[in-house]
Chains A and B, each alone.
Chain A
Amino acid sequence: MNKAKAKVVKSKSKKVLNVLITYCILIVVAFIFFFPCLWLILASFSKSGSIYSFDGFFPKEYGIDAFKTLFTDTVMYNYPKWFLNTLFISVMSCIFGTLLTILTAYCMSRFRFKSRKKLMKATLVLGMFPSFMGTIAVYLLMTQFNLINQQWGLILIYSGTAPMGYMVQKGFFDTIPYSIDEAARIDGASNFTVFVKFILPLSKPILVYTALTSFTWPWSDFILPKMLLQNRDLWTVAVGLMSLGETEFARFAAGSIIIAIPIIILYFCLVKYMINGMSAGAVKE
């Protein structure tokens, strides 16, 4: 009798310990992920801009000067212009990139045409080349087409290469049962109608996922804009923020926060779709 009681107590204390350890780890993890963000937020509210005038992680004096200068002092660092440039490029690439990727994935998932297997293998192999192996070629190509220092050049590249990553979306379309297509086709719908009227409404998670990834890529890319946009006024925020030194630390922090906030809000609103989209593509090969 006593022994059994002792066992219960023991297993209970074991459980409490288990919960305690779990929460300790969680707190540490939360701290690790949150602290750098907090540091940047604090830094953006520092009165002096330089990193040398900080007390360790904390600014000596607080103020909103960094945000003010970000939008008023635009001679050297034209942040508002950079922001608009980034927004324009990202939105355009998002629209075209999503459209092309979804179309590719849908075709690869639903149609059994002759060169399908070949195309799939080819994209797999192409994906293994180092991502910017062709940068020099892209640069030369853009000079040939007269698209250097043009935002449309970047948009073309982003949306043109987007269909290469269609695998996740194809995995999602594979999970939508064929019976839906068949039923619609018996009713006399063409493949185009099936796609627009039946498949698209069902694929909201993957649409959101695709749109989000094809928006954030140009939003935070720095290699292509750095190479193709040489005019200071055409820069994107990524290139612009890279040009800020340690003495402009507060301005960097403020600029980062403004560009990070829209993305963070988007992610938190759409996190459910993200999880669905990612795992749908992963379980299938």
Chain B
Amino acid sequence: MTKVLNKVKSFFVGIPTKVKNYFKSIPDRLKKKFAGAKEIITQGNSKVGASICCMGLGQLLYKQWTKGSMFILLQVAFILYFVFTGGADLFGLFTLGQVKGDAWFGIAGDNSVVMMLMGIFAVIMIMFYIAIYIVNVKDVYATQCAEDTLKEPLSFKSQAASLLDKNFHKTALTLPIIGVCIFSILPIVFMILIAFTNYGGTTVPPELVDWVGFENFGKILTLGQFAPTFFKIFGWNLMWAVLSTAINFFAGIGLALLLNKACVKCKAIWRAFPILAYAIPGFITLLGFKFMFSYGGPINYYIQQGGGDAIGFLAVNSKWTARLIGLGVNAWISVPSIMLLATGILSNLNNDLYEAARVDGASAWRQFIKITLPYVLFATTPVLITQFINNFNNFGIFYFLRDGVISDSYFLANNTDLLINWLYRISIDNNYYSIGAAISLIIFIVTSIISLTVYILSPSYKQEETFR
């Protein structure tokens, strides 16, 4: 145990020096980066200079018509974008709007939130532009070098062909990177920035939104409204994540081992039942279980037949029944996937190990403890981490099971809500956008610390090569 603690400690103690080294190495790395730029500027001829001033001009001077005109077109398109919307958008990112809308006087006003979004978009566009610009300068310099050494410069045709060969990755990754930039990175950056504004509550467009620094985090941790709810939900959230991951993980592996036993006949049939559960879309399962435990549902029917009173398993005044049902339903949904995974891993397991163990006279139990378990644990640790994060942020379970339930002494939440459910209620249903964004940043920090720690402790990190 102390060994484990020391390991974690040494990792976190090591962080400051790592950060320091990173910052110390910046000048060196910058020098390296700019060495190339310096070479181009000092060695480049006038045609390179032309391309530095105006993208594509140098290529045209070298009579590379197609390439040159393409660069020039891109340049014109970017300048048009920047003049008409981009520049204003970028400026808007800092001010977040100055003119308040007034319907009475017919003033349209600034929409701070859209301005922020478009501002981030402009930043991404500028980054793309800079990347293309650098490509352009490097290209023309390469042509110059080729000409100086009396080599045939690469023709446009062969360069285009290299996009399917040597530079195939550039072609292939363009679309994915654009997609991820717009639909993953842009929204995440937007939400991170929102956490530092006062967007939400009554401050929504047409009101102007402003930067407020760390105020929102302070509010969550200290303000009477948010703080108690936050800590209560956070505690339960941690407990939920640990419990549900452990249950799903061990039940799934246990099931796979059970099905893997030599004495089980017709494995395919037995395996079919969990797969059936796995294949049903999650929302159907969740809604189905909600009906099952509802007041009019079958469980309560039997309770009433037996002379009892109907129990509100998922109603306002239930706490642990609802939590246990949540754990059970989550297991019903997730155990099959772990089982499938473990089945695949077990089928890859080398039989020679068991042969050797049998020759040495190891009992079945010892074989299990010494060979099977370490191997399965080793192979599934990365999955364990993703499982943990998914469970920590398991939105669906309590969103469906306890929709619209608000408990006493909780602010806009109930006693089974996870942080992510609270986040949804706060920001989507009740407009506290900035607080919601701050909560999601906190969730991010917690999950990343935990998963890093688990990763360091995991066997797959310690002994990467053992089973390969």
Contacts and interface: CB of A to CB of B under 8 A. Distances in A.
Interface of A: 15, 18-19, 22-23, 25-26, 29-30, 32-34, 36-37, 39-40, 50-52, 54-57, 100-101, 103-104, 106-107, 110-111, 113, 123, 125-126, 128-138, 140-141, 144, 156-157, 159-164, 190-192, 195, 216, 219-220, 222-223, 227, 238, 241-242, 246, 249, 252-253, 256, 259-260, 263-264, 266-268, 271, 274-276, 278-280, 282-283, 285
Given A33-B277, A138-B187, A271-B275, A100 B301 contact: no
A100 B175 contact: yes
A191 B168 contact: yes
B369 to A, nearest CB: 17
B164 A190 contact: yes
B250 interface: no
Nearest to B348: A279
Contacts of A275: 340-341, 343-344, 347
A246 B270 contact: no
A282 B467 CA distance: 13
Contact of A242 (B194, B287, B301, B345): B287
Contacts of A52: 296
A274 B344 CA distance: 9
Given A104-B176, A241-B287, A260 B281 contact: yes
Contacts of A279: 341, 343-345, 347-348, 379
The listed residue with most A CB atoms (<10 A of its CB), out of B176, B294, B296, is: B176
B444 A264 contact: no
> Across chains A and B, which 10 residue pairs bring their CB atoms closest together, nearest first?
A134-B187, A279-B344, A220-B281, A160-B179, A137-B187, A190-B165, A163-B176, A137-B190, A192-B164, A267-B279
A22 B184 CA distance: 47
B276 interface: yes
A103 B423 CA distance: 34
Contacts of A129: 188, 440, 444
B19 to A, nearest CB: 15
A33 B291 contact: no
B187 A133 contact: yes
Contacts of A33: 273-274, 276-277, 332, 336
Interface residues of B, number: 96
Interface of B is mostly: helix
B248 interface: no
Contacts of A125: 448
Contacts of A160: 178-180, 182-184
Given A56-B305, A283-B348, A34 B380 contact: no
B127 interface: no
Interface of B: 113-114, 117-118, 161, 164-166, 168-170, 172-173, 175-176, 178-180, 182-188, 190-191, 194, 255, 258-259, 261, 263-264, 270-285, 287-289, 291-292, 294, 296-298, 301-302, 305, 332, 336-337, 340-341, 343-345, 347-348, 379-380, 382-383, 389, 393, 395, 420, 423-424, 427-428, 433, 436-437, 440, 443-444, 447-448, 451, 460, 464, 467
B204 to A, nearest CB: 11
B380 A282 contact: yes
Contact of B173 (A107, A246, A263): A107
Contact of B294 (A37, A51, A238): A51
Nearest to B193: A137
Contacts of A133: 187-188, 191, 437, 440, 443-444
Given A34-B273, A130-B420, A268-B275, A191 B165 contact: yes
